[in-house]
Structures are given as structure tokens and as C-alpha cells.
A and B are shown apart, each in its own frame.
Chain A
Amino acid sequence: MSAHAEAHPHGGHHGPPPIHRSSRLDPTVLGMLLFIASEAMLFGAFFTAYFFVRVVNPQAPEWPLDPFHLPVYVAGVNTAVLVTSSFTMHWALQSIKRGNRAGLQAGLVLTFLMGLAFLITQMLEYARIGFTPADGAFGTIFFGLTGLHGAHVFVGLTLLAVAIVRAFRGHYSAEHHHGVEIPGIYWHFVDVMWIVVYATIYLI
């Protein structure tokens, strides 16, 4: 009978010690989680600036001030498109978890198209909105916040494009679909941030 410890910090082992890895959270998911946390702080800084501008304005709660007018209904339809894309994203992942490759491909393509439609609509909105980032603090914050979100949509679309190409090349299976799960988490985060942006800037 014998006893031994598995961990030998100064034994015959060369190089760095083996990585301690708990099963609590997968490292790739943890990486995405930390990234999203840092992104939330970035958005938080912009929201802080927005609410500061709004609260210190003596004419509040009349908001936005003249001559600023926001296309609430167009943005509302755009919001519905983006929210729907979260459903198709979820459908795509649920499909591949059940081994349904066609569902995965259709879900990813629909999500991508809706994301693209959102981005194009936002660009058209910028062209017709009637003010620019140079038009006072409100204009700066409006374009800063919505532009920051638009940049995230673009990144999300890039991730989705990679996932789509891989899906059509036969990658992913019911057991291995991390390449869809991670962009999915990111896409839902982009969706949540838009709901916050739309509710605070356009509606309230």
C-alpha cells in the first residue's frame, strides 16, 4: 500500500505548473463574460454622460429639447427587428443541440439578415435625423451611444458571418457547438444594450 500526492511543485516537472481549472465555468464562456462586463462598463460611461446632460438641463423633463426630434416609431420597428433576431439566434442554437443542421443554418442566416437590416436602418436614420454629433451635448451623446451600439452590432454580424460559413461547411454538432454559443451570448448582449438605449433615449 502506498500514498502519494499528485501535486509536486518542485519535483521532476519542467516548465510552468499545470493550470488549476475548476469545472465551475468554462474558460471560453468566462472570457466572453469578462468581455461583456467590460463592455457594460463602457456603455455605463456613455449613459452616465447622457443622464448628466439631461439632469443638469434646466428645461427638463421636456426632452429632447427643440430642435431635436427622434424617429421613435422607425426606431421602434428597428427594435422589434433586433429583438426578433434574438429569437432566431436562440432557435439556431436549439436546432444544432438537437442535431438539426438546417435549423441552425436558417436561424443564423435570419439572425444575420435582421442584424444587417437593423444596421442599415440606423444608418438611414442618421442621414435623415436632422442633426449631427457637432450639434450640442445631446447630439454628441446621441450619436456616441447609438454609434457605439452600432459598432457592436457590426462586430456581432462579423461573428455571425463566421458562424454561418462554418455551419455551411459542416462544422458544429449536437455535442460541439461552442462556435455558435459564444456569438449567441454576444448577440443577446447587443440586443439587451439596444433595449436599454431605446428605452432611455427614445422613449423615456
Chain B
Amino acid sequence: MRNPLRSEADAFRFVLYTIGYFALIVVAALAHPALGLLVFVGLTGTILWRVLGTRGRVEEREVVVPAPTAEGERRILVIANETVGGGELLDVIRERAAGVSEQVLVVVPALNSPLKHWASDDDAARAEARERLEASLARLREAGIEARGEVGDGDPLQAIDDALRTFGADEIVISTHPEGRSNWLERGVVTAARDRFAAPITHVVVDVDAST
């Protein structure tokens, strides 16, 4: 759902919609009170249906275009959470970094429950994400890959968006659990990221259970 008061222009549009909404209700109510009630219920129901229908759908947003990198240099943005230390992910990063001067930014979204998210209680989620991030960076260091890391927003798409504002990635690597066990795949995060971001997206499936 798009926040109707995100900017002055959105608020102004909201004024126009409000005028239309009440104009229809008032005209109908003046004709007959029952008709007014009917129009009110119909309009309100339609609005709720539209609002609820857009939940989970990817909003059209400005696509962030990465800044060009120098020749022979490659910037890789890695988004992973529980799979951040997976061997498959390390292999892909190693493969992408071969033969070039690589810059790798690992972003671990601080996943949180909806209730805690709305209560701004994200300290524990960020601490857990930081632990996973540091373990992952240690493994990358052992593999000889230069990398830095950040704890990102709980929404992986937002975490990518935030990271791209300071890190012009040539490629984005999204690491998930296999199909059926991955919440991100179920929510269509990889597909949504391909629609939203200009940089090429590589999807890496890490089977943590099989690795251990």
C-alpha cells in the first residue's frame, strides 16, 4: 500500500480523491438515505479491496542504476541472511571475483517479526544479523576475498535499495534457501528484485542442511 501522505503531491491527490468520495456519497444520500449508505459501503469496500489487493505486490519505483566502475574492477552486492555462510555462495563470489579487482559488500537484512518491526524493537534482530555477518566476513577473509559488510533493513528489497545508494553494484547476488524452505522465494523477492533493479541479479540457492 502506498502511503497517501508521503509527499505534498500525494497529499494533494488525496484531497481530490476525498472530494470525489464524499461528493458521490452526499449526492446519493440526498436522493435517498439508503442509497447514500449503499454508495458509502460500495465505495469503501472498493477502496479496501484495492488496498488489500496491492499488498505484497511490488510497487513501481525508481530503478537505481549503478554508477560505472573502472575497467577491471567489479562491485558485487551480496544479500543473504541465514545462508550467508553457505559454501555455494562463497563459490559464486569467488567465481565472480576471479581475474578482476573485486569489491564485495555483504548485506544481511535484520529479519524481524511484524509485531517487533512495528514496535521498533529490532535490537535483537540486528544483533543476530551482525553475528551472521561477521561470521560470513571471516569465511570470505579465509577465502582471500576482500569484503565489507552491513546489517540492512529487514525487507531484503529495501536493504538492496539502501545499499545501492552508496555502493554502485555491477551485480547483485541474492542467496536463499532452496524452494519450499525459503520465505524470500515464497514472497517472490528474487523476481521482484529483477523487476526493480537495473543491475544483473544472480540467485544462489544454499542448502544449509545438506552442507552440515
* A binding-site residues for B, Cβ under 8 Å: 1-7, 9, 20, 22-25, 29, 32-33, 36, 61, 83, 86, 89-90, 93, 180-181, 184-185, 188-189, 191-192, 195-196, 199, 203-204
* B binding-site residues for A, Cβ under 8 Å: 3, 5-9, 11-12, 14-15, 18-19, 22, 25-26, 29-30, 33, 36, 122, 126-127, 130, 133-134, 137-138, 140-141, 144-151, 153, 158, 161-162, 165
A203/B30 in contact, CB under 8 A: yes
B8/A181 in contact, CB under 8 A: yes
Known: A6-B149, A203-B26. A29 touches B33 (CB 8 A): no
**Interface SS majority for chain B:** helix
**Interface SS majority for chain A:** helix
Residue among A3, A89, A188, A192 making CB contact with B141, cutoff 8 Å: A3
Contacts of B145 in A (CB 8 A): 1, 3
A3/B150 in contact, CB under 8 A: no
How many A-B pairs fall under 8 Å by CB?
A: 106
B8/A36 in contact, CB under 8 A: no
Contacts of A191 in B (CB 8 A): 15
* 3 interchain residue pairs of minimum CB distance: A184-B8, A3-B141, A188-B11
- Nearest neighbor of A4 in chain B, beta-carbon distance: B148
Known: A5-B148, A22-B158, A199-B26. A90 touches B9 (CB 8 A): yes
B6/A25 in contact, CB under 8 A: yes
B12/A86 in contact, CB under 8 A: yes
B36/A192 in contact, CB under 8 A: no
- Min CB distance A90 to B, Å, is 4
Residue among A9, A181, A195 making CB contact with B130, cutoff 8 Å: A9
A23/B25 in contact, CB under 8 A: no
Known: A61-B33, A195-B22, A204-B25. A4 touches B15 (CB 8 A): no
A90/B26 in contact, CB under 8 A: no
- Min CB distance A146 to B, Å, is 16
A204/B29 in contact, CB under 8 A: yes
- Min CB distance A9 to B, Å, is 7
A188/B15 in contact, CB under 8 A: yes
Contacts of B130 in A (CB 8 A): 5, 7, 9
- Nearest neighbor of B19 in chain A, beta-carbon distance: A195
B151/A7 in contact, CB under 8 A: yes
